[in-house]
């Protein structure tokens, strides 16, 4: 790491459990270091909402998002325009900016004033041009070491790659943002329950058989082509999906956004990537103190975490319904059995379904797909 000195690691969220005979390491951190502002924002060349989040660091033992509400948040550009953000959720501020104000070559700055009068200002960050994403594709591969599942001797899956081509006028500093959505199913429809009224049948409801879940990858993917003769790259590796997950069972939708960065923004993301990899790849709400471009004007000696960047974006999407020659072996988290006898009543509902004329007791995951974190309303973008 190059800028100013080595990275100052203050907040490490991962707890590393190597084996039962090795004690867990819990870092000792001064209380004065446990309350810092975390400000993160990104303005892109894509018309739409531009978002800034403002929070406080949380204790290592109980990581969480602690929002800072009631702030005055403004984005300035180098052309004299200003954009006032509105708080839409606690600690989340956004403003809709039209295409005419989102031009590569323009510099942008963030200004934040907290309710208690603390003023934070970012450096200006200049939005570069983005190389064109040529393609996104996958290759069936055995898992690399970092993706192997300790519960299985071998792991198969698919490795995603991107190709891109840029000109000498495009940025040579890039990062990729990964969003994945997949369809998953439960096995049964609830038909009867035992509760404080005893055993009784209920109206069957198939609405919880199929769900969809969307999540952003916590991995950081970044690359510089500064040392290459051409501003292009073939087969840059992104995320890996193994065969021990339900993500590839019924449909998998991947959105890849390629962000063209300034050199300062790239240095920031590289530091985060290197530190998060060293700590087992855990990149949560605010785990690290890495030097950013936001400054505390009111109290210059008080450190603030985070970065405000201006990036141009190109994106591609890929939908997969089936991977040839890939055998899936994943946990459905559904357990069911035939009880020896039915209890007369239970203060906590016991869920039962009727399978081929027999009653089985089973857990929630067998019939309620919502219990596994998804939604049962098909997303508008879902291809099927």
122-167 pLDDT per residue, tens: 999 999 999 999 999 999 998 766 666 676 666 899 999 999 999 9
Which pLDDT score, from 0 to 100, does residue 277 have? 63
User: Higher confidence at residue 45 or residue 197?
Assistant: 45
Could you tell me the pLDDT band of residue 202, with boundaries at 50, 70 and 90?
Answer: confident
- CATH class label, 32-128+261-310: mainly beta
Could you tell me the pLDDT band of residue 288, with boundaries at 50, 70 and 90?
Answer: low
Which pLDDT score, from 0 to 100, does residue 130 have? 98
Which pLDDT score, from 0 to 100, does residue 255 have? 98
Q: Where are the beta strands (DSSP E) in 5-97?
A: 37-44, 48-56, 66-67, 72-77, 82-84, 86-89, 92-97
56 CB-side CA count, 13 A: 12
Could you tell me the pLDDT band of residue 52, with boundaries at 50, 70 and 90?
Answer: very high
- The helix or strand, by DSSP H or E, that contains position 276, with its residue range, turns out to be helix 263-278
Q: Where are the beta strands (DSSP E) in 107-149?
A: 107-113, 119-122, 125-126, 132-142
Tokens 């690399």 correspond to: 144
């Amino acid at each position: 790491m190059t800028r100013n000195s080595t990275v100052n690691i203050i907040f490490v969220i991962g707890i590393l459990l190597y084996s039962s005979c090795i004690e867990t390491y819990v870092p000792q951190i001064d209380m004065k270091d446990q309350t810092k502002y975390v400000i993160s924002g990104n303005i892109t060349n894509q018309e739409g909402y531009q978002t800034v989040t403002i929070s406080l660091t949380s204790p290592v033992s109980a990581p969480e998002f602690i929002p800072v509400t009631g702030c005055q948040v403004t984005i300035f550009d180098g052309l004299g325009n200003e954009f006032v953000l509105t708080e839409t959720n606690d600690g989340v501020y956004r403003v809709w900016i039209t295409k005419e104000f989102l031009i590569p070559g323009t510099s942008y700055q963030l200004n934040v004033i907290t309710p208690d009068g603390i003023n934070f200002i970012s450096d200006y960050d200049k939005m570069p041009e983005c190389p064109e994403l040529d393609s996104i594709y996958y290759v069936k591969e055995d898992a690399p070491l970092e993706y192997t599942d300790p519960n299985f001797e071998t792991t198969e899956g698919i490795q995603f790659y991107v190709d891109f081509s840029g000109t000498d006028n495009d940025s040579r500093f890039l990062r990729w943002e990964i969003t994945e959505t997949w369809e998953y199913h439960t096995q049964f429809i609830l038909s009867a329950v035992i509760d404080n009224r005893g055993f009784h049948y209920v109206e069957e409801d198939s609405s919880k058989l199929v769900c969809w879940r969307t999540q952003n990858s916590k991995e950081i993917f970044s690359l510089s082509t500064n040392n290459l003769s051409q501003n292009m790259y073939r087969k840059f590796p992104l995320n890996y999906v193994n065969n021990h997950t339900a993500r590839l069972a019924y449909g998998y939708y991947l959105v890849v956004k390629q962000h063209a960065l300034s050199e300062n923004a790239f240095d920031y993301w590289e530091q985060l990537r290197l530190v998060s990899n060293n700590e087992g790849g855990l990149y949560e709400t605010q785990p690290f103190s890495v030097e950013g471009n936001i400054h505390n004007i009111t109290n210059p000696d008080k450190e603030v975490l985070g970065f405000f960047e201006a990036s141009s974006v190109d994106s591609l999407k890929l939908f997969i319904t089936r991977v040839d020659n890939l055998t899936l072996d994943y946990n459905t988290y559904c357990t069911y059995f035939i009880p020896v006898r039915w209890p007369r009543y239970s203060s906590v509902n016991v869920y039962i379904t009727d399978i081929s004329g027999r009653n089985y007791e089973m857990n929630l995951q067998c019939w309620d797909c919502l219990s596994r974190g998804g939604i049962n309303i098909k997303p508008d973008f879902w291809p099927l």
